[in-house]
Structure 1
């Protein structure tokens, strides 16, 4: 996260046809130390931009006369190093992709419920702009050095050739860093948008899964409706997994990581693949069982293996070939010819490689393979999400991914994950379903979504609890203030209009510090399980949830206070 955002004189131009939106954004940024300029439409915004040359632009997507995309295209052409953030009331993914294609640095959805999200996006964009400018200036410096030294070639030709080669290698490295920064910017912007969509989608999935589970429980075993409801529940689980894949774009995955050895996960995945691949594909594996543990999500490691091997099979399905998977330890960067990403420290890494002997890729295709929705497969054979998801997962594990390929000579993907210290825990994708725990305590339940609170209340009452449910955080606070000893546990949503779940929890704990609280969320970029527990909140649950997950979490929160 960027800190110390503003230096004196940093100017932000706000272009929006809604005066209240411009004023609210301007007031917030001015409180943070910015100088703000405003324009009521795209045409006026371009005039202000050309006259004042602000440091950053925030532009609405839909405006009369000249819309946000036209403004973005003009600004990106005239001043590509000036960051432009698209602020839009629409969550359409195609709009975001088009904005990013035209050069947008980030994409923020309106209405902005938490201005800190916008401030974070502004700070992040300004920091990247600074890095890009510094990189360009240094590259120009290197180019001047090359020209100056070339002028002296009559006299020192041999020595200058050696020096120039060194400068060219340095310049290539800086160009690579610049490309990585732009790719990171694009992926994070899509991840931000995906996070907003995921929040709404998870809130929709929660009642679907909850109502279906309860309906199944109340139907007799021989009912013909059971198979249909099981189909609904299966489809809901697939939708839940799809949301997790989307969140993997921008390091938003809610899958917990822990220290583990991944050898058994890789072998499980390869065993499953062997049963599905044709005999024309020869599988080879070289798994070093002495490799150390990594800090990882077993589900996501399994997903990486399956996606990479599926791509390898697709490249060899016509003529057959060899699919090879290797795992070993390596020191970076001393023995590997790769450039570490910013924030990626040298040290001991686990190297996971997946190679094939298929048709390979051109350099143009290799530059695009990690872009969302880019695919070389025919219509209906792939979404273009696979390698983008892998890219997000690897970044989420503080790792690095590289690819080598030549046309007609196959492809080789290498993933580097930092080796963790400490004792690993058992790694398995299959967990035994424990008995669903019940209770009789009094629970105060709050969520502004009527369907969600109805589902949660029914589930909790089926588990034996006495439930008081409210849809307003303000009413909840008033009730608790008048009867603080009446409740044994509070379960609250995170995103609510009057008061967020975190703010409500803080007020409740001021009244009664020992009250156990569980915070629920469809998605929050700024809230994690660790940060929630640091506030004193007992548990954190990500929607949508199954009855068994809710039951175990509630029981854990209640019993912890009794020990």
Structure 2
């Protein structure tokens, strides 16, 4: 919404049809004006003639403070031209829009969105503008939040696709680096350089993990979490490294448990704390609070936050830093957006925090003003589960699993070849298929000799999901490990429910894949 007028609505009212404003301000009429739920005002270009008491409730200005002051002084600079043009059209009796929306500046420097409808009236025998201004701040905020959510959802889809392709690329680099290290002819100097390459791959994996975090599809290990304990521990670590910041903790005694991935929540908290610290370059105070909150069905905050009614836990982080203006707040969760100069960070910290919280069914709300610090409120659904699940022991590894025959299915030639070489280096017999249809043909004729299938999830033509269901039609107990540059939420979770044995995200370290293979084959030996 901008300061531009709305759609046209015909000619404005004739001046001789309008009553004089001063005739309507006596007795009961004045009471009606003062009790009206909207701002009612009469003004000319050179000053406000009358305004009711609602102006003080919305802007902090008492009516007498506005008397004889030019009204455009209280309109946001970016909206003054359109607002002035609207009033001039009305005053001249020309065709004018039905109304005009703009921002009014409050006494404390804030902004209040209003929608104004105006007509021409007489004040002490001289034409003036009679206007009704309705508070639209809440509606505008909801509309802005909806647009922001839609934009971030679209960006999340884009980020997930980029992360998938990038992970496939890293898989090839990681795989061939591992093969090079395993070669006997690698000198110590060459081996050291190869390890540097692997280190760079790990850095790339970290970057794609943040992209997947922003998209809300990162891989989660969900367990009961005490947010008080997490907040206290993480903030203590930050406090040790930044002595210029004083951290104040106000943690709710009987805080509810949340079901979440501990590592992901630590990342959210760390990103928020680092952001708060950077907003206070000269030091300052940082306040961490937790609380139990409940959202009822009719709570007006629900559509704004984009959550469902129910019990939640709120984590609030408030700093006394430089604050942000409205334009920065609107973009604060955009990926790669940063207010720092000279490459200070990737610009993914807050965007990944946003994605992680949304993926957990929660929301982040931000309030900030220049020079007055910022406050981030994180809302996470509370859980009735109070006890941490007992960790199950890892499956027994089968003996001689390195003699197994594995069908590897991947449409990326480089990934297919490097996976084949890696598995053969571990002693497995490998059959390669570059498509889902080829995999079904091979498995249909050789299912008795194939012990395990490594299946890429995203493939053109026949997808990984379609391939898996085709394999199950051939052999209902087929053993399949899913591989993907996407996270486990990118379609893998549904297939795991259907019977897939495990999921491995690309790029993987050979030792981790080998362990997962042995676990899956070991399960069958135990059975």
The TM-score normalised by the length of structure 1 is 0.65
Measured after TM superposition, the shift of residue 539 of structure 1 is: 2.3
Change (3 A) 1:288 1:555: farther
Match of 2:13 in 1: none
Decide whether the 8 Å contact of 1:219 with 1:226 is kept in 2.
no
1:413 aligns with 2:376: yes
Deviation at 1:406, TM superposition (A): 3.1
Aligned equivalent of 1:356: 319
**Native 8 Å contact 2:488 2:505 kept in 1:** no
Paired residues for 1:495-510 under 5 Å: 495-510=458-473
Q: Which residue matches 2:443? A: 480
Residue 392 (structure 1) aligned to one of 335, 338, 355: 355
Structure 1 stretch displaced more, 198-207 or 388-397: 388-397
List gaps (5 residues or longer) in structure 1: 1-76, 78-135, 141-150
Q: CA deviation at 1:488?
A: 1.4
Residue matched to 1:322: 285
Is 2:251 aligned against 1:259?
Answer: no
Deviates more, 1:323-332 or 1:517-526: 517-526
Partner of 1:300: 264
Tell me if 1:286 matches 2:250. yes
Conserved? CA contact 1:195–1:525, under 8 Å: no
Counterpart of 2:339 in structure 1 is 376
User: 131, 153, 156: which is aligned to 1:188?
Assistant: 153
C-alpha distance in structure 2 between counterparts of 1:194 and 1:537, whole Å: 26
- Distance in 1, matches of 2:460 and 2:299, equals 51
- Contact 2:311–2:381 (CA<8 Å) still a contact in 1? yes
Q: For residue 223 of structure 1, what is the aligned residue in structure 2?
A: 188
Q: CA RMSD in A?
A: 3.7
State how far apart, in whole Å, the 2-side matches of 1:436 and 1:548 are: 16
How many Å separate the matches in 2 of 1:229 and 1:267? 40
TM-fit CA distance, 1:513 = 1.1
> Does 2:208 correspond to 1:243?
yes
Q: Please point out which of 497, 500, 505 is paired with 1:542.
A: 505
Could you say which structure has the higher helix fraction?
Answer: 1
Give 1:271 shift. Answer: 3.4
- Please give the per-residue CA displacement for 1:448-500, whole angstroms capped at 9, x wherever unaligned: 22221222223323444322222233332222212221111111112233422
Quick check: 1:516 aligned with 2:479?
A: yes
Contact 2:398–2:522 (Cα < 8 Å) also in 1 = no
**What secondary structure sits across from 1:367 in the alignment?**
helix
Deviation at 1:236, TM superposition (A): 1.0
- Listed one character per residue, the Cα deviations across residues 489-534 of structure 1 (whole Å, up to 9, x for unaligned) are 1111122334222222222211111111122222279843331123
1:459 to 412, 422, 427: 422
Q: CA deviation at 1:276?
A: 2.2
**Aligned 8 A contact 2:163 2:212 in 1:** yes
Kept in 2, the 8 Å contact 1:442–1:487? The answer is: yes
Change (3 A) 1:235 1:427: farther
* Superposed CA offset, 1:141-186 (max 9, x none): xxxxxxxxxx998776645744447998884333222212111111
Q: Which residue of 1 aligns with 2:273?
A: 309
CA contact (8 A) 1:325 1:355 kept: yes
| Distance change in 2, residues 1:326/1:480 (3 Å) | same
Q: Within 1, Cα distance between the matches of 2:253 and 2:420?
A: 48
Residue 446 (str. 1) matches residue 395 (str. 2): no
Shift of 1:273: 1.8
Number of matched pairs: 412
Q: Give the deviation of 1:541 after TM superposition.
A: 2.5
Whole-angstrom distance in 1 between the partners of 2:227 and 2:181: 37
Q: 1:177 aligns with which of 135, 139, 142?
A: 142
Q: Which has the higher contact order (CA 8 A, sep 6+)?
A: 2
Cα pair 1:436 1:551 within 8 Å, conserved: no
Pairing 1:22-171 to 2, within 5 Å after superposition = 158=31, 161-164=35-38, 171=136
Query: Is the CA contact 1:436–1:548 (under 8 Å) kept in the aligned structure 2?
Result: no
Cα distance in structure 1, aligned partners of 2:284 and 2:371: 12
Cα contact 2:454–2:480 (8 A) shared by 1 = yes
Runs (5+) with no aligned partner, structure 2: 10-20, 40-53, 55-114, 116-132
What CA distance in whole angstroms lies between the structure 2 residues aligned with 1:558 and 1:153? 88
- Please name the residue that 1:201 is paired with: 166
Q: Name the structure with the higher strand share.
A: 2
Cα deviation, residue 559, structure 1: 3.3
CA contact (8 A) 2:302 2:308 kept: no
Note the C-alpha offset of 1:203.
Answer: 0.6
Give 1:544 shift.
1.4
Rate the CA distance shift 1:336–1:343 in 2: closer, same or farther, 3 A: closer
Matched, 1:211 2:176: yes
Q: Which residue of 2 aligns with 1:22?
A: none
When residues 495 and 359 of structure 1 are mapped into structure 2, their CA distance, relative to the original with a 3 A threshold, is closer
**What SS does structure 2 have at the residue aligned with 1:444?**
strand
